[in-house]
Amino acid sequence: MENILNALVSGLVSGSLYAIMALGLTIIYGISRVFNFGHGIVAVLGGYLAWTFFSKLGLPFAISLLCMLPVMYFIGWIVYRYAIRSLMKKPNADFSTVLFMLGLGIMLENIILQIFGPRVKAVPELFEGSFMLGTIKIKNHELALIVVVIIGIIVLTQFFKRTRMGQAMRAVAQSVPGAGVVGINIEKIFGYTFGLAFMVTGFSGALLASKYFMIPHIGWDWMVKGFVIVAFGGMGSIPGAVVGALVLGLAEAFTTLSLGAVWVWPIWFIMFLVLLLLRPQGLVGGRN
């Protein structure tokens, strides 16, 4: 029973981190219809930036996370403003933007490798120590990660529901021509969307690095996980990404407990393929 409870806690922590990671992918695709195949490397870049603020400038890790956010937003905006914007106006825009984001991911991975080297970087925990919940030992850091992710999801949800920019993004996600008719500047919204998505993705990378480990190549593993989660929950759906991440996080934990870590990927993809056969739109489906 104790092992089951430990697996449950581990699954909730992993699912929470996967949820915030998948949200960056969901935001870009749901609003702009651009699929970011460099998503995992963007997350890694956020992790390395936070590590740089922490280790090189001596800032507390929590402050390093906050300092990383505007930098990632600016990078995302630059990517849209000077690359994606022009590609979206050309024939075969869907294909060309996918190839560009894939190439960008490969380029960023190699830049990170040259600057920081191939060795694992140690990212500190938000809080040290642990506490007992009955017979279950829970690390303060793991609880903090869950709380931070929940707060982040609530903030994003309220941003899309209550702010003018968030409402404009939702309008563009529903219909680009319709949003243009009512006076929304589509190109500005796409620029804000890329900035927001890169910021959220970078934040998730720093949190993932504090739980697991960080090397330049880990981004492709995160990329595949993000894609499976987004498709599992429903492409472009924020609630779908959260639900899909929690389901697959729990599946990962209980698979590791019962069959071993080597079976995690096969079980994930069995669940993914079965869901696609039964419900191609995902668990939640739709863009919301």
pLDDT at 288: 54
Cα(168)–Cα(31) distance, integer angstroms? 10
What residues contact 48, with CB distance under 8 A and at least 6 apart? Answer: 112, 116, 121, 214
pLDDT at 135: 73
Cα(108)–Cα(279) distance, integer angstroms? 35
- Which residue do the tokens 């080297």 mark? 117
DSSP letter at 60 equals -
Contact status, residue 85 vs residue 185, Cβ threshold 8 Å: no
Cα(29)–Cα(25) distance, integer angstroms? 6
CB-count burial class (<10 Å; 0-12, 13-18, 19+) for 139: middle
pLDDT at 123: 82
pLDDT at 132: 77
pLDDT in tens, the chain (288 residues): 677 888 888 899 999 999 999 999 999 999 998 989 999 999 999 999 999 999 988 899 889 999 999 999 999 999 999 999 999 988 888 889 999 999 999 999 999 999 999 999 888 888 888 877 777 778 898 899 999 999 999 999 999 999 999 999 999 999 999 999 989 999 999 999 999 999 999 999 999 988 888 899 999 999 999 999 998 988 878 888 999 999 999 999 999 989 998 999 999 999 999 998 998 888 886 555
